[in-house]
Structure 1
Amino acid sequence: MNAAMPVIDQPVLSCSGLGLQIRDVELLDEIHLDIRHGETLGLIGPNGSGKSTLLKLLAGVRMPSRGSIHLDGQCLKAQSRRTIARTLALVEQQADTLDAISVFDAVALGRTPWLSALSSWSAEDTEIVHQALRNVDAAHLTTRTWRSLSGGERQRVHIARSLAQCPRILLLDEPTNHLDIQHQIGILNLVHALPVTTVIALHDLNQALTCDRLAVLERGRLVALGKPLEVLTPHRLLQTFGVHAHYLVDPFDGAKILRFRSW
């Protein structure tokens, strides 16, 4: 076995006792989480529950007040930004790119961790960028400028940039925001088909049902973790989200879907 390959039995990304406090506000508290090789883990919770903050800590973008994060069994803070970027990519909700840059060049930024004085831009890098754009149905945008894109188009280009990093772990913060329903379905299908480990924050609980496991955050604490149908019980939905809900069965494929009501 290649010594650089992660051990499949151990978590590829984990945190223990993770917390973040800013002034007197506790944003996250005592988060313990092991993320398994190849799984799609959904992060769900009400607004302000800590989903985006947790993703930023796991990516090393922000430093925790306490606790530890391990990537491939090694302490995250001991690893270089280049090493982390070759393994893990984060797509934030609000990510900026220079207005004057072209779509191709914006996605090409994803190749930065793999470039050096000894490894300059190659035809392979060009093909990786084009493939990333094809994967998110944005190949036709290649020559457009960033400032000319709609919100949904920008979101797809940001995802393409993360794919161009060729990460083994993909962290996505509500990636279907600003997308029409066709592209929401397309992006989620792509995420599930990618041969990577994925942690994805979602608002749509029916979309969350397609994940392998769900982690439920409430006021900065992890209150439930497990398979979607085990986690999203009527009791949990009422307690955490303040809604009554029951399951319906889709006659097309037998899948369970949630129907919500406020009373």
Structure 2
Amino acid sequence: MSVLSCSGLGFKVREAELLCDVHLEVAAGETLGIVGPNGSGKSTLLKLLAGLRTPASGEVRLGDKRLGDLSRRAIAQHVAVVEQQADTDDAIRVFDAVALGRTPWLSALSPWSGEDAAIVRQALHDVDAIHLSHRAWRSLSGGERQRVHIARALAQRPQILLLDEPTNHLDIQHQLTILKGVQALPVTTLIALHDLNQALTCDRLAVLDRGRLVALGKPLEVLTPQRLRATFGVQAHYLTDPFDGAQILRLRSA
């Protein structure tokens, strides 16, 4: 059974069609990569799946329930989002910024507790940011802020994690660490990526082109030289890494 799905999903801004007739089912525990050229609809799709935007057509389902029938609090107890350009001007400490991820679980009957604090500390540890806990948000670099955004999402303890190009602004060491850490989490993950070699590590890939889903399947079956030329406008062939036998994409201008 899929934990997140959409059917006939479409979205428009005025007369511009940003997404059209997308059908998708995501299984529990899988990592689904979303790839496509700039403007192909990756960010729009993630926002619709998270309930941050209302579709012009079609519907999104969280398990067997329509997303549109659920409250923001109920959605946030299942789905966490790391947007591409999330920011704040608030004077806030890093620990407190990550603690906001616990908000969907707090109420008058379930106030902040030591368990919540432990979850926040673990989330910061998971993104190699525990040493930033007492730093002011405004003092962080772009890469540090990105790691803190991911920590906030992890502190939410979601069943489904949606990430929009989460390795933006990160150095290569933290790119590799974050991606490996995210894929090791016991959650279902949808992740929009620009780096196609990073995308090869996903369980499945969804390829978007001008708002349409043009391919869906295992990475090596989807990212064929023909598809890469048609969708991305590049020539490509695969090399085998002698270290571990992994397939690596070599890309050139068409």
* TM bin (shorter chain): over 0.9
The CA RMSD over aligned residues, in Å, is 0.6
Aligned to 2:32: 41
Deviation for aligned residue 1:260: 0.7
* Cα distance in 2 between the residues matched to 1:92 and 1:77: 20
CA deviation map 1:113-147 (0-9, x unaligned): 00001110000000000000000000000000110
Aligned to 2:150: 159
**Letter of the structure 2 residue corresponding to residue 119 of structure 1:** S
* Cα distance in 1 between the residues matched to 2:65 and 2:88: 31
Aligned to 1:231: 222
Aligned to 2:80: 89
1:19 corresponds, among 3, 10, 23, to 10
1:174 corresponds, among 165, 179, 184, to 165
Aligned to 1:188: 179
Deviation for aligned residue 1:200: 0.1
C-alpha contact 1:172 1:199 (8 A) present in aligned 2: yes
Deviation for aligned residue 1:55: 0.2
* Cα distance in 1 between the residues matched to 2:146 and 2:90: 14
Aligned to 1:119: 110
Aligned to 1:142: 133
Aligned to 1:7: none
SS, match of residue 12 in structure 1: strand
Runs of 4+, deviation exceeding 6 Å: none
Deviation for aligned residue 1:222: 0.2
* Cα distance in 2 between the residues matched to 1:200 and 1:97: 23
CA deviation map 1:53-112 (0-9, x unaligned): 000000000000010100011000001111100000000010123431000000000000
* Cα distance in 2 between the residues matched to 1:98 and 1:74: 36
**Letter of the structure 1 residue corresponding to residue 242 of structure 2:** P
* Cα distance in 1 between the residues matched to 2:89 and 2:68: 28
* Cα distance in 2 between the residues matched to 1:108 and 1:262: 45
* Cα distance in 1 between the residues matched to 2:152 and 2:239: 37
Aligned to 2:242: 251
* Cα distance in 1 between the residues matched to 2:240 and 2:126: 31
SS, match of residue 77 in structure 2: helix
* Cα distance in 2 between the residues matched to 1:12 and 1:145: 37
CA deviation map 1:218-240 (0-9, x unaligned): 00000000000000000000000
SS, match of residue 19 in structure 2: strand
SS, match of residue 100 in structure 1: coil
CA deviation map 1:2-39 (0-9, x unaligned): xxxxxxxx110000000001111000000000011100
Please report the TM-score for the alignment, with normalisation by the length of structure 1.
Answer: 0.96
**CA shift in 2, pair 1:98/1:121, >3 Å:** farther
Q: Higher mean Cα deviation, 91-100 or 134-143?
A: 91-100
Aligned to 2:43: 52
Query: Sequence identity, in percent?
Result: 74
* Cα distance in 2 between the residues matched to 1:98 and 1:212: 37
**Letter of the structure 1 residue corresponding to residue 219 of structure 2:** P
C-alpha contact 1:99 1:145 (8 A) present in aligned 2: no
CA deviation map 1:143-167 (0-9, x unaligned): 0011000000000000000000000
Unpaired stretches in structure 1, ≥5 consecutive residues: 1-9
Aligned to 1:73: 64
